[in-house]
Amino acid sequence: MIQKNFKFYLATAAILIAAFLLWPKVTDNSRSDFVPVTGVDYRSGLELVFGTGWQDEQIEDVRKRLLDLVVPSEFRNLHLELTLALGRAEQAQKNENAADISEHISKINTLLSE
Protein backbone atom coordinates (compact mmCIF):
# COMPACT_ATOMS: atom_id res chain seq x y z
CA MET A 1 0.00 0.00 0.00
CA ILE A 2 2.76 2.43 0.94
CA GLN A 3 4.63 1.47 -2.19
CA LYS A 4 1.56 2.29 -4.37
CA ASN A 5 1.20 5.70 -2.68
CA PHE A 6 4.91 6.35 -3.13
CA LYS A 7 4.68 5.59 -6.87
CA PHE A 8 1.66 7.86 -7.17
CA TYR A 9 3.42 10.75 -5.38
CA LEU A 10 6.59 10.18 -7.38
CA ALA A 11 4.67 10.22 -10.67
CA THR A 12 2.76 13.35 -9.63
CA ALA A 13 5.98 15.10 -8.63
CA ALA A 14 7.61 14.14 -11.95
CA ILE A 15 4.65 15.53 -13.90
CA LEU A 16 4.70 18.78 -11.92
CA ILE A 17 8.46 19.19 -12.38
CA ALA A 18 8.18 18.49 -16.13
CA ALA A 19 5.31 20.96 -16.46
CA PHE A 20 7.27 23.60 -14.57
CA LEU A 21 10.35 23.12 -16.75
CA LEU A 22 8.51 22.93 -20.07
CA TRP A 23 5.91 25.65 -19.48
CA PRO A 24 6.64 28.77 -21.56
CA LYS A 25 8.37 31.55 -19.72
CA VAL A 26 6.52 34.81 -19.14
CA THR A 27 8.03 37.52 -21.30
CA ASP A 28 8.01 41.23 -20.72
CA ASN A 29 6.19 42.77 -23.69
CA SER A 30 6.54 46.35 -22.55
CA ARG A 31 8.37 48.66 -24.91
CA SER A 32 11.40 50.17 -23.29
CA ASP A 33 12.03 52.40 -26.32
CA PHE A 34 8.59 54.06 -26.16
CA VAL A 35 8.73 57.85 -26.02
CA PRO A 36 5.43 59.69 -25.54
CA VAL A 37 4.47 61.95 -28.42
CA THR A 38 3.75 65.58 -27.65
CA GLY A 39 1.07 67.70 -29.26
CA VAL A 40 3.77 69.60 -31.15
CA ASP A 41 5.14 66.34 -32.56
CA TYR A 42 1.67 65.26 -33.62
CA ARG A 43 0.95 68.60 -35.30
CA SER A 44 4.28 68.31 -37.15
CA GLY A 45 3.25 64.84 -38.30
CA LEU A 46 -0.07 66.21 -39.52
CA GLU A 47 1.79 68.87 -41.51
CA LEU A 48 3.81 66.13 -43.18
CA VAL A 49 0.74 64.02 -43.94
CA PHE A 50 -1.38 66.94 -45.12
CA GLY A 51 1.38 68.91 -46.78
CA THR A 52 0.90 71.10 -49.82
CA GLY A 53 -1.03 69.32 -52.54
CA TRP A 54 -2.29 66.41 -50.46
CA GLN A 55 -5.64 66.66 -52.26
CA ASP A 56 -3.91 65.66 -55.51
CA GLU A 57 -2.64 62.40 -53.99
CA GLN A 58 -4.56 59.18 -53.65
CA ILE A 59 -6.73 59.56 -50.56
CA GLU A 60 -5.93 55.99 -49.54
CA ASP A 61 -2.21 56.85 -49.31
CA VAL A 62 -2.92 59.94 -47.20
CA ARG A 63 -5.15 57.89 -44.88
CA LYS A 64 -2.44 55.23 -44.47
CA ARG A 65 0.13 57.89 -43.55
CA LEU A 66 -2.32 59.40 -41.07
CA LEU A 67 -2.88 56.00 -39.45
CA ASP A 68 0.90 55.58 -39.07
CA LEU A 69 1.07 58.58 -36.72
CA VAL A 70 1.32 58.07 -32.97
CA VAL A 71 -1.49 60.07 -31.39
CA PRO A 72 -1.27 61.80 -28.00
CA SER A 73 -4.40 61.44 -25.92
CA GLU A 74 -5.51 65.06 -26.29
CA PHE A 75 -5.67 64.65 -30.10
CA ARG A 76 -7.57 61.34 -30.26
CA ASN A 77 -10.87 62.95 -31.25
CA LEU A 78 -9.24 65.05 -33.97
CA HIS A 79 -7.39 62.00 -35.28
CA LEU A 80 -10.60 59.98 -35.35
CA GLU A 81 -12.51 62.71 -37.17
CA LEU A 82 -9.72 63.12 -39.73
CA THR A 83 -9.55 59.37 -40.29
CA LEU A 84 -13.32 59.09 -40.74
CA ALA A 85 -13.43 62.06 -43.11
CA LEU A 86 -10.62 60.57 -45.19
CA GLY A 87 -12.41 57.22 -45.27
CA ARG A 88 -15.60 58.89 -46.47
CA ALA A 89 -13.67 60.87 -49.08
CA GLU A 90 -11.99 57.67 -50.23
CA GLN A 91 -15.40 56.00 -50.58
CA ALA A 92 -16.71 59.00 -52.51
CA GLN A 93 -13.65 58.81 -54.76
CA LYS A 94 -14.39 55.15 -55.50
CA ASN A 95 -18.00 56.07 -56.29
CA GLU A 96 -16.75 58.97 -58.45
CA ASN A 97 -18.88 61.45 -56.51
CA ALA A 98 -17.03 64.75 -56.86
CA ALA A 99 -19.47 66.71 -54.68
CA ASP A 100 -18.97 64.37 -51.72
CA ILE A 101 -15.20 64.36 -52.21
CA SER A 102 -15.01 68.16 -52.04
CA GLU A 103 -17.36 68.19 -49.03
CA HIS A 104 -15.12 65.79 -47.09
CA ILE A 105 -11.95 67.58 -48.16
CA SER A 106 -13.34 70.90 -46.93
CA LYS A 107 -14.25 69.20 -43.61
CA ILE A 108 -10.66 67.94 -43.34
CA ASN A 109 -9.30 71.42 -44.07
CA THR A 110 -11.61 72.85 -41.39
CA LEU A 111 -10.42 70.27 -38.86
CA LEU A 112 -6.79 70.99 -39.69
CA SER A 113 -7.22 74.74 -39.28
CA GLU A 114 -8.65 74.41 -35.75
Distance in angstroms (rounded) separating the CA atoms of residues 109 and 54: 11
Closest CA to 83 of 103, 104, 100: 104
Report pLDDT for 83: 95
State which amino acid sits at residue 95.
Answer: N
What is residue 34's three-state secondary structure? coil
Is residue 47 scored above 90 in pLDDT?
Answer: yes
Report pLDDT for 97: 87
Looking at residues 61-75, what average pLDDT do you find? 92
Distance in angstroms (rounded) separating the CA atoms of residues 105 and 111: 10
Residue 32 main-chain phi, psi, to 5 deg = -80, -15
pTM: 0.67
Distance in angstroms (rounded) separating the CA atoms of residues 67 and 61: 10
pLDDT band, residue 32 (cuts 50/70/90): low
